[in-house]
A and B are shown apart, each in its own frame.
Chain A
Amino acid sequence: MLRRLLPAPAMLASIAAVVVLPLILPSVAMATEVVVFIIATLGCNLLLGYVGLLSFGQAISFGVGAYACGLALIHLHIGVWGGLFAALICSIIAGLVVGALSIQKRGIYFVMLTFAFSQMFYFIAYAMAEVTGGDNGLLNVPRPPLTVFGVTLLSLGTPLSMYCLAAIVFLVLFVFLHRLVASPFGSTLIAIRENEERAIAVGYNTRIFKIIAFVISSWVTGMAGALYALFLNFAPLSNIDVSMSERIIIMTIVGGTNSLFGSVLGATFYVVVGNLLASVWPRWLLVLGIILIVVAGYLRGGLWSGVEWTWQRLRARWPVAGAVEQREDRGGA
């Protein structure tokens, strides 16, 4: 049974990444930030890479997840599980509402619709200042220990235990998404991306599939938002701003939309390189702009395609036969 769960190399690599990140990066806080955005990028990648839908609504789910978790912890005192659950419920509802409406249109109209919704949610968050804190953001989000039946699993008081929570949530979601895209559901999504008319002709209710994908993506991104609120003890208005959607989309495309692991690469790259560049040159956005142009122009598979290319080269030099290869190919990592 363990063998079924046992991951293809991409999964192994993600476990390795999660273990290695806090050691390589200069602080555990940066590693936590990276993992939070990896999760958000996974949500976007599901929609963009597997269904082919470019949505500017990522910030909606990210912000709603953060606010839901923060508000639940502040007002309902229901602990971390409660906070995560609140984020789950709220981001699924938001995803359902926005998704059901946006899915009705395709192509550039879909994109513009999600953009409009994103602005509307921003306005709502800004206007409901008594609830969300408005421009000041939701301050003093507590971070109580993670307990199960009174037993403390993670104290969450230290940076490392906060990181562990984020890492565990990431791994759980990654396994889930990995199996999802490898399943018939995932194949249908890909079929819809490739040629929606044909998928309809074959008899699939593409609308339902797209809405479900949208909701799942929203849920995953909402989880990231909740973790972010826990991590910062703060849920700023900028979480629900369109520029947050832009950032997530950039991470997704730069990482590579052909594989879920691309999200790991993209988010890590953006957060780490962004931090590095910002500390060196205030005009670091210029470099980011150039990177975007280069990636979109010449390296469309993103960083993942670069890794794949290197991997092919290595495999050519040191051939490794065996059943592991077959499992990898079928899994579609």
Chain B
Amino acid sequence: MNLYLIQVLNGLGIGMIYFLIAVGLSVIFGIMNFVNFAHGAFYLLGAYLCYAIAAATDSFWLALAVGPLAIGALAWAAETRFLCRLYRVEHMYQILVTLGLALVIQELVVLIWGPIGTHVSAPALFRGVLSYGDFAYPKYRLFVIGFSAVLALTLWLLLERTRYGAILRAGTESTEMVSLLGIDIFRLFSLTFALGAYLAGLAGVLAAPIRGAEPFMGPEALTIAFVVVVIGGMGSFAGALAGGLLVGVVQSVMSSLWSEGANVMIYVAMALVILLRPRGLFGRT
């Protein structure tokens, strides 16, 4: 039983990171109908900014605070400068542009930091394991679970209790209505895109001490994000959370049961969800 408990904990930890990556993509697609293939690149940048800031200032907390903000700002700039022109075009051009952007970011990372991955230490406060008899679990992973839970709660409050949140939720139902109500839809889009990028960058910062930072980690985050968004439901916050945790826990438990298949299971699940219940767990039809 101990084994499965730890597997579930593992799954929650990864699942929370999946949630952070996916929720941005989900909201971006839900509101803006924009397929963002550069989402993984924001995650990548998050991990590298964590490395760079932590190396320069010896403070993980500073990296956590500043890194994602920088990425959010970068995303805001990209969106207002040229991505906004692509909202009305077909998905294939959106995919092409964001794929191109992802490639550019990836190669810039290699140019600046080299092609070999780097190692990021967990913050001193959370190094080591929490022991309880036979049970030992890394403190940092527990921190990730706790911190992400708090973050999820904050996001939920943002969505449910603030004006911006209300506009955002309305926007996932109909952007036309929102703009007819006199709200600047373009500001909304920019903010949303920046928020999505911020969260993906945050996921990268949190993931860096667990799996290091290496230049080709973008595509894996993107793939997971799509799977979680599909399973959870596009445009849904609860969906991203439930989907992320579900995928994380299933992957973890599978590694005890059928380890080689853990990866393909999520794609089978993704296909089944699309075929049988396209709106996912919590999405709207």
Contact = CB atoms under 8 A, between A and B. Distances in A.
Interface of A: 48, 52, 54, 101, 104-105, 107-109, 111-113, 115-117, 119-120, 123, 127, 246, 249-250, 253, 257, 283, 285-286, 288-293, 295-297, 300
Contact of A113 (B85, B90, B103, B271): B271
Given A109-B274, A117-B271, A292-B96, 11 more contacts: A105-B274, A112-B274, A116-B227, A123-B261, A123-B264, A123-B267, A249-B96, A285-B107, A296-B86, A296-B93, A296-B94
Contacts of A296: 86, 93-94, 96-97, 100
Nearest to B89: A300
20 contacts: A105-B275, A108-B29, A109-B230, A116-B270, A116-B274, A123-B263, A123-B264, A246-B99, A249-B92, A249-B95, A286-B104, A288-B100, A288-B103, A289-B101, A292-B96, A293-B97, A296-B86, A296-B94, A296-B96, A297-B93
Nearest to A53: B92
A257 B261 CA distance: 37
Contacts of B102: 289
Interface in B60-111: 82, 85-86, 89-97, 99-104, 106-108, 110-111
Interface in B246-271: 260-261, 263-264, 267-268, 270-271
B105 to A, nearest CB: 8
Nearest to B37: A246
B270 A112 contact: yes
Interface string B190-210: 000000000000000000000
Contact of A292 (B90, B97, B274): B97
B233 to A, nearest CB: 12
A113 B275 contact: yes
With a 10 A CB-CB cut-off, give which of A101, A104, A123 has the most chain B CB atoms.
A123
A297 B104 contact: no
Contacts, number: 107
Interface of B: 29, 35, 82, 85-86, 89-97, 99-104, 106-108, 110-111, 223, 226-227, 230, 234, 260-261, 263-264, 267-268, 270-271, 274-275, 278
Contacts of B263: 123
A104 B230 CA distance: 16
Q: Chain A interface secondary structure, helix, strand, loop or mixed?
A: helix
A110 to B, nearest CB: 9
Contacts of B101: 289, 293
Contacts of A48: 92
B91 A120 contact: no
B100 A289 contact: yes
A286 B108 contact: yes
Contacts of A250: 96, 99
Contact of B278 (A105, A246, A297): A105
B177 to A, nearest CB: 21
A286 B99 CA distance: 11
Contacts of B95: 54, 249
A67 B108 CA distance: 36
A286 B89 contact: no
A116 B228 CA distance: 12
Contacts of A105: 274-275, 278
A253 B85 CA distance: 18
Contacts of B274: 105, 109, 112-113, 116
